[in-house]
Amino acid sequence: MLALFVVGLITSGLAGAAAYFLPVVVAAYAQTGQPRASTPAPEHASPGAPPAPAGGSAFTVLLMGSDDDTKFAQGVYLTQSMILIRINPATRHVTMLSIPRDLYVPWSTGGHGKIDEVHQYGDAASVATVERNFNIHVDEWAWVGLKGLVKLIDLMGGVDLTTGNPVLDDFYPADLESTNPYSYKRVAVLPGPQHLDGIHALEYVRSRHGDIQEDFGRSQRQQQVLLALRTKAKNVNAADLPGIVASFHDEFKTSFNLSDFGRLRSLISLASQISDPSQIEQIVLVPPYTGSDVINGADVVTPNWSLIRPLIQQKFT
Amino acid sequence: MTRPRWTAGRAAAVLLMAIVWIVSGIAAYLYLGAHRTTLATEAKKPTEAKLAQGPISRLPGTLYLVQGGTLYRLQRGSFSPVLKAPGGASVWTQPVFTPNGQSLVVVRRDYASSDLYLFDTSGRSPTLLTHNASRTVEANHWAFYPRLSPDGASLFFSYDRKDPGNVYNVVLSVYSMPMSPGSSFSQAKKWTVPASFTGGDIQPIPLPSGGVIYTKYSFDNKTNKILSQIYLTPRAGAPGKALTAIEDSCLQPALSPDGQRLAMICTGGKQFATLEIAHFDGSSLGPAQVLVSGQLAAQPAWSPDGSGLVYLAPQGLGGHFQLWLQPVPAPAPTASTAPTPNSTRGSQVGRPTPTAPPTPTPTPSPLTQPIQLTSGLDFEATSTIAWHA
């Protein structure tokens, strides 16, 4: 009778924990462990890069962010933001490189176009296009939608950062608060140290009309908010995961297999060990790495591969 | 073989076990839920803060700060709301005293525009000073960072005049308008020419000499970033002169009551911000002395007697900005322009070259640690702090 009681007690406790983590498990199977790429790794990809990074070897992650409002068909979005991140657990060094969204490149699916537009063929097409053009191997990727980013930042209690200059925009998309995806509003993010909630952090990273560097300036701001989020994420523990998953809902996909809790824990641990700003290198592909041109009537950013590829070789292999 | 007989006692035991199991399951669920990290801590309202016995109660005079769009008055360690947040997207922000200390100019920021209001110090008798709202989104205007001239006759602020050549070029310029009764924005004068697509010129501080100190944003080719500098312009329309180096990226200037020291926030284009002061001789800055580093320090405001600065900075990782006090060492008579090895930064520009070595060089007083005056509150770090005797 006593044994039955004890077994029942343990089982019920586990059942309670299982119920608590059920949203995480469901999300882990639905939104994580997505296919890595539709095409094989490029011939000249970094030699020896492991297909599934272990705890100690360096690996590369492609972060993608999209407008996912009703301008687009469900699931067919452009990538407004693409950031390559190289993480070296051994040296605890992180390199972040923003890819201009208007970069004119050959697509993995055939043809040429802006790199943000290839995402209409899926996450894997974007990953493969980055791999082929930048001549690297992307180990994992993650995609987040606008609302997901806002919810995540709010769940983290907002972010603290020093905004660089007044970000003023009279034609900022008001698509999150209007049924008209082409409506716009005015934003003014004032400069200096401050606390930003999700919606204002999004304004800071999304606005580009009033920036002398346009998308390049926006890329710098995106990296800045990403680092501020990482600072907040140091406090996250396993019990926070259901809330985080609920905040993302359908706004997050990744090739990381989040059902592998051991690896997830080691990644969180690694993030907490990287605290010195000198351990994080931020790169934006401003001229002379890129130029500008008009192709088929569209303003595009043209890559200077003779400068970009050696940089990638140095920082991402 | 006989089957066990169900007795009342046995049934009660099974029932009890089942209850314990259910409770155990629920307890496990609740235990995990209770161990979530408090990532989004709720801030208290300033009126709920128990501060009467703390160092904040010894601050002289009256301060005005903003939390959650509400303007609060701080006197003798006690906060009271003066202008409640209008609601929706509208907030009160950036209060500033008139020179006689009897009125306040406050920014009301709405969804697409902001306007300047004049109130008495209790938040009554409002006078609308600007009219920036429009039904057409891009026809709205911003007015931020109000500041009265020392004689109280002119109101300076930052304003986004429309660029007819490029609707995307939204930049702030420093403007001034008379504060006399019946005056309007139509009499406003543009003081500065901002660099396009940088955010512009902000945070004016009118000087008794008639000039204006302000923060100017420019694109720095070396770092590929838009950075800020403290500028001085002698008159409206005149080209300004940089008082700080662009790589220091300084902003939020605050002039001491005697007009001889300038406090500012410098970021170097990085994430952390330092609170610094430098001697100001009316046309240039001496080497800066770093008072506070390693924090996201913002909005320095001098005490009425010039013996200290209050500023806002977060409390740990929680992210809410609190009020801090940094005592300021008394200025050295002649050697304030002489750098000291550990706590000065000599990158100010336009500094006069000394013709003779300053002698003797007094040893600067050791800096005291900043004092955290509040906790658990959530002050708006882009809003200035007004402080009057």
User: Would A266 be classed as within a structural domain?
Assistant: yes
Average pLDDT over residues A134-155: 90
**pLDDT tens, A27-73?**
666 666 666 654 444 444 443 334 444 456 888 999 999 876 666 66
Q: How confident is the model at residue B326 (pLDDT cuts 50, 70, 90)?
A: very high
- Residue found by looking up tokens 């304003």 in the block: B159
Q: Is the pLDDT of residue B335 over 60?
A: no
Q: What are phi and psi of A142, to 5 degrees?
A: -145, 145
Contact A236 B37 (CB under 8 A): yes
How large is the greatest C-alpha to C-alpha distance in chain B, in angstroms? 115
Pairwise CA distance, residues A126 & A116, whole Å:
8
Least confident residue range of A7-16, A71-80, B208-217, B367-376: A71-80
User: Would A176 be classed as within a structural domain?
Assistant: no
Least confident residue range of A92-96, A121-125, A239-243: A239-243
Contact A194 B265 (CB under 8 A): no
Chain B residue with minimum CA distance to A2: B17
CATH number for position A214: 3.40.630.190
Residue type, A121: Y
Q: Is the pLDDT of residue A257 over 80?
A: no
Helices and strands counted in chain B (H then E): 1, 25
Spatial contact of B117 and B128, defined as CB atoms under 8 Å apart: yes
Spatial contact of B154 and B177, defined as CB atoms under 8 Å apart: yes
The Cα of A155 is separated from the nearest Cα of chain B by a number of Å equal to: 6
Which residues make Cβ contacts (< 8 Å) with residue B314, sequence separation at least 6? A160, A195, B295, B296, B320, B321, B322
The question of ipTM being above 0.95 is answered as no
The Cα of A247 is separated from the nearest Cα of chain B by a number of Å equal to: 13
The Cα of A301 is separated from the nearest Cα of chain B by a number of Å equal to: 17
User: Would A260 be classed as within a structural domain?
Assistant: yes
> What string of H, E and C letters represents the secondary structure of B129-171?
CCCCCCCCHHHCCCEEEEEECCCCCEEEEEECCCCCCCCCCCC
Residue type, A213: Q
User: Would A306 be classed as within a structural domain?
Assistant: yes
Task: Say what the alpha-carbon torsion angle A223, A224, A228, A231 is, to the nearest 10 degrees.
Answer: 60
A27 in the Ramachandran plot: left (φ > 0), alpha (ψ -120 to 50) or beta? alpha
Contacting A residues, span 267-306, partner chain B, CB-CB under 8 Å: 277, 284, 286
Residue B183, pLDDT score: 82
User: Into how many domains does chain A fold?
Assistant: 1
Question: Rg for chain A (alpha carbons), in Å?
Answer: 21
User: Would A174 be classed as within a structural domain?
Assistant: no
Contact A13 B140 (CB under 8 A): no
Q: Report the 10 Å Cβ neighbour count for A301.
A: 24
Report which DSSP code applies to B379. Answer: B
Residue A35, pLDDT score: 67
- Which tokens belong to A74? 């469900």
User: Would A142 be classed as within a structural domain?
Assistant: yes
The Cα of A205 is separated from the nearest Cα of chain B by a number of Å equal to: 15
| Range(s) of the domain holding residue A146 | 22-159+196-316
User: Would A37 be classed as within a structural domain?
Assistant: yes
**pLDDT tens, B284-304?**
999 999 999 988 999 999 999
Contacting B residues, span 140-159, partner chain A, CB-CB under 8 Å: 140, 142, 144
The Cα of A281 is separated from the nearest Cα of chain B by a number of Å equal to: 12
Contact A161 B160 (CB under 8 A): no
Q: Which of B341 and B270 is assigned the larger pLDDT?
A: B270
Pairwise CA distance, residues B323 & A253, whole Å:
41
In this complex, how many residue pairs, one in chain A and one in chain B, have their CB atoms less than 8 Å apart?
A: 203
Average pLDDT value over all residues in chain A:
83
Contact B40 A169 (CB under 8 A): no
In 3-state terms chain B splits into helix, strand, coil percentages (rounded to 5) of 15, 40, 50
Residue B4, pLDDT score: 63
Chain B residue with minimum CA distance to A186: B112
User: Would A16 be classed as within a structural domain?
Assistant: no
